[in-house]
Chains A and B, each alone.
Chain A
Amino acid sequence: MKKLFVVLSLLVVFSMLLSACAPQPTPAPAQPAAPAAKAPEPTKAPEPTKAPEPTKAPEPTKAPEPTKAPEPTKAPAAAPTATPVPTPRPTPPPGRVTVEFWFGLGKPLGDVLEAVVMDFNKSQDKYYVDAIYKGGYADTMNAAIAAFRAGKAPHIVQMFEVGTATMMAAKGAIKPVYELAKETGWNLDPNIYIPAVRGYYSEGDKMISMPLNSSTPIMYFNVDAFKKAGLDPAKPPQTWAEVRAAAKKLVDSGATKCGMTFEWPTWTQLENFSAIHNVPLATKANGMLGMDAELKFNSDLHVRHLQTLMDMAKEGSFKYGGRDGAATVLFPSGECGIIMASSAARARIQRESQFTWDVTYLPYYDDVPGAPINSIIGGASLWVMNSPGRTAEEFKAVAEFFKYISQPDVDARWHQETGYLPITHGGYEKTKAAGYYEKNPGTDLPYKQLTRTQPTENSLGLRLGNMPEIRVIVYEEWEKAFQGQQTAKQAMDNAVKRGNEVLRNFEKMYK
């Protein structure tokens, strides 16, 4: 009896180990739409729990599946806790060339995307795009990678901007958009797309992926709290010195509990900070010119900025609200009077806040010559994937779909309904002509900030291998600095050192 028990327990434990230890990227099962980013993020983790039987070891619970990654990039900050109702997908009609499109944009913005796809399907009767929600961006990426390895890649996949380098390096797996255009006879003119958007996804003047949802960080401020603190909401702070003074005044006067915060810390305070001050984040034009780029964000200006944030945290005028989109909630709840957040957070702030608010440009240091220039984008783009057995007709269908979403009408509607930036000049002009910006003051500010100057090599975008990993490294080092465990200089140096290791590792993988 004793022996038997020992053997049995060992077997059970060992099988649990084996099951838990397998990192095989299985394609995520198609899931009902997840509620999109909210803080704290309601990630769904349906761990199969079983009623225990008191005489036997319980069924081995499974290892974490790849389906529970959270909302990664700064996408739909504008998202309510939508009830996950699995809408039955319409089956592709017979006789049409059908292409699969995997996307990672959660509700409600994902609904708008699906509506755009449906309209495309209705607009003609030759092609059919089958849009499938695959979970968040990271899940979609993992699913696409697993599908590619199994020879079943989707035709189109939506990928967050920080995955750009990984996708571009996967030469055989993707078909660049300019090649697609050449093969299908699509007269693609890159100049109809907004430079700061197009540039992020181009190699030189060749478009590699198709821009879709792009946003840029701006500064939101609580008008009511400004008035209460004796600040003039008509003259919002423009420089960091002014932001600090305003934030301090907000707290000191008791108008708000916290003066200033920001979501997506590295995106708003490092990536865009570098861009608008026209300083490099990395060499080789932020990685655009080659995989051997090295991180440069431990410059005096970068260290000085982290020091400013640390000082502000100490005096109580700044509150660190957590990684990714965790801090967004602090603004609509009224806790923080100022937030630097994605332009796509607008809808959420509008819905959740109980006060008057306004927007303005990202702040800058006015002693930096030339600052501020244009900011950079975040969001996602559409990639065309290769797979065995692709036909020319299928690629033609993809090209038709891309052509469709680049039309001014479609783009304008996308921009207005989602709060994302227009991807084409035409979409912007159309929206302007319709009087949308007058009716909704401030909605053109992101576009203006993004296009206020011609992008330089520091403000065209980023192409750094494993950027998501580098972001986490910066979070870790900054959090240690905010806790007082290291100085600003140490934090930035460590982050650059560790980040460079990531880049070298990435480079090695493709040698």
Chain B
Amino acid sequence: MQRRVIFNNRILPYLLLLPQLAITIVFFFWPASQAIYQSLLRQDPFGLRTSFVFLQNFQTVLSDPLYLEAIEVTAIFSASVTLFVMTLALLLALMADRQIRGARVYKTLLLWPYALAPAVAAVLWGFIFHPSIGILGKTLNGLGLNWDYQLNGTHALVLIIVASSWKQIAHNFLFFLAGLQSVPPSIVEAAMIDGANSWRLFRKILFPLISPTTFYLLTINLVFSFFDTFGVIHALTHGGPGRATTTLMYKVYMDGYVNLNLGHSAAQSVILMVIVSALVWLQFRSMEGKVHYA
């Protein structure tokens, strides 16, 4: 038997939605529309002189070889972070999911990094890997690897990938663990009785069953690596050396806040919005058939 509540009042539903809508409009839609508007203008930082330039900002940005370079850096960075985070988090979750002594302690400890602000995490990693005062930085140099993230672009990129991932692993771990724990034990037991080894168990039972979680995390991680890694980059490398760690997001910041070129910055953020929207749309399109929802 289904019981349905029927509202005869036409206004009430909207009234109930209003708080959420207001927040969405004020904090999301309004700033976004401002960004689109700003992207069509050329304006000095103080707003004393404004001229409408249509799509000229977009043209300038898209024909800038440095912008294409930033796209490349972002692609490498996001792909590495996502892959690195999800692999490690899944591995940790699989290990924590077993019956081991002190499992709760491990779980708690594994969650800690998530509570840390990205910039703080970055400073810690910076200290650890500093070529002349960091423990690991010194060790790497001692091993004959000429480690210097301030001068070597590859080293810098590796460092910000590791620092960004480290923080995000905790978050992913939690979701994977929850996903694994929601797998019905009867299925696992049945598989084991049928003689499946742990790899087959994972490959044929667990992995497909947690695919909604995996899919969700894939999206979230991509968005995270696009937008939320600013603090790490800013605290560690400032986008350098050269332009080795200047991602699209960091370039938006540099052009907007440091170089005070609001038009270019706004155009870039609009492009960024389109890129990520497209990415997410593609993901949903391609994954829809392969994800099993319980």
Using CB atoms and an 8 Å cutoff, list the residues of chain A in contact with chain B: 1-2, 5-6, 9-10, 13-25, 40-47, 49, 52, 54-55, 57-58, 61, 63-64, 66, 68-70, 138, 142, 145, 148-149, 166, 169-173, 257, 320-324, 326, 329-330, 333, 335, 466, 468-469, 472, 475-476, 479-480, 482-483, 485, 502, 505, 508-511
Contacts and interface: CB of A to CB of B under 8 A. Distances in A.
Given A21-B32, A69-B257, 9 more contacts: A6-B288, A15-B28, A20-B227, A23-B35, A43-B123, A68-B119, A320-B151, A322-B151, A505-B261
Interface in B77-131: 114-120, 123, 126-127, 130
A23 B266 contact: yes
A17 B276 CA distance: 8
B242 A485 contact: yes
B228 A170 contact: no
Contact of B293 (A5, A70, A138): A5
Nearest to A41: B235
A63 B240 contact: no
A92 to B, nearest CB: 27
Contacts of B139: none
Given A17-B276, A22-B34, A485-B242, A509 B43 contact: yes
Contact of B258 (A18, A69, A326): A69
A510 B49 contact: yes
Interface stretch (B185-193, B201-209, B246-254): B246-254
A40 B130 contact: yes
Contacts of B216: 9, 57
B48 A171 contact: yes
A47 B117 contact: yes
B32 A22 contact: yes
Q: Which 3 A-B pairs have the closest CB atoms?
A: A22-B31, A45-B119, A54-B178
A509 B160 CA distance: 35
B35 A483 contact: no
Contacts of B259: 466, 468-469, 502
Contacts of A149: 46-47
A20 B243 CA distance: 22
Contacts, number: 208
B105 to A, nearest CB: 18
Contact of B241 (A6, A14, A172, A483): A483
Contacts of A320: 150-151
B121 to A, nearest CB: 9
Contacts of A466: 259-261
A166 B227 contact: no
A35 to B, nearest CB: 11
A469 B254 CA distance: 8
A13 B280 contact: yes
Contacts of A46: 117
Contacts of A480: 241-242
Interface residues of B, number: 80
Contact of A70 (B171, B212, B238, B240): B238
B220 interface: yes
B73 interface: no
A23 B269 contact: yes
A52 B175 contact: yes
Contact of A54 (B175, B238, B273, B293): B175
A145 to B, nearest CB: 5
A361 to B, nearest CB: 27
B52 interface: no
B59 interface: no
A6 B231 contact: no
Contacts of B253: 64
Contacts of B219: 9, 13
A76 B2 CA distance: 70
Given A21-B270, A138-B257, A333-B133, A47 B119 contact: yes
A447 B49 CA distance: 40
A333 B138 CA distance: 14
Nearest to A48: B117
Contacts of A9: 216, 219, 284
Nearest to A45: B119
Given A21-B270, A23-B266, A6 B234 contact: no
Contacts of B293: 1-2, 5
B54 interface: no
A47 B175 CA distance: 20
B30 to A, nearest CB: 8
B210 interface: no
B35 A21 contact: yes
Interface in B247-294: 249, 252-254, 256-262, 265-266, 269-270, 272-273, 276-277, 280, 284, 288, 293
A212 B103 CA distance: 60
Contacts of A468: 258-259
B227 A483 contact: no
A40 B151 contact: no
Contacts of B239: 472
A475 B237 CA distance: 12
Given A5-B293, A333-B132, A482-B151, A476 B243 contact: yes
A20 B253 CA distance: 11
A476 B280 contact: no
Nearest to A16: B223
Nearest to A329: B133
Contacts of B117: 44-47, 49
Given A23-B256, A148-B46, A483 B153 contact: yes
Contacts of A42: 119, 123, 235
